Amino acid sequence: MSNENFFIYEVFSQKSVNAPFVQQFSLLAPNKEVALSMARENFLRREPCFNLWVVKRDDIFGLPPEERPFLERLDNKSYRETKGYGDLQSRWRHHREQYEEKQKHAGNGS
């Protein structure tokens, strides 16, 4: 049997019902049944697993390099990102100190 009759399969595992699937390794097999059997033999003896996916690499669709620029954001809505909250603690501290300072001056009759 030549390599022309074999296909590359990607093996993904899920450790628990709520865990995401993670790509583990690739393997060569003549069909999906043999690929699943090989994946079970090679992976399940190493660590526990809740679920296993074996996918022919040719069946995985991905963006070609020339289309990846289309993944860039089309809008300027940076206000939706959480990066603006990084200094929130220092801003609150600044306002609290200003308030306490005003209270101190009000208490002194200044």
Domain ranges of the chain: 1-60
Q: What is the pLDDT of residues 6-30, one digit of tens each?
A: 999 999 999 999 999 999 999 999 9
What pLDDT is stored for residue 58 in this prediction? 95
SS3 107: helix
Answer CATH for 1-60 from 3.10.20.520, 3.40.50.300, 3.40.50.740, 1.10.540.10: 3.10.20.520
Q: Are 41 and 30 in contact (CB under 8 A)?
A: no
What pLDDT is stored for residue 18 in this prediction? 94
**Which residues are CB-neighbours of 57 under 8 A, at least 6 positions away?**
7, 8, 9, 10, 26
Distances from the Cα of 22 to the Cα of 6, 42, 61, 86, angstroms: 23, 16, 17, 30
55 forms beta bridges with: 10
Q: What is the pLDDT of residues 49-105, one digit of tens each?
A: 899 999 999 999 988 889 888 777 666 666 666 666 677 788 889 999 999 999 988
Determine how β-strand 7-14 pairs with β-strand 22-29.
antiparallel
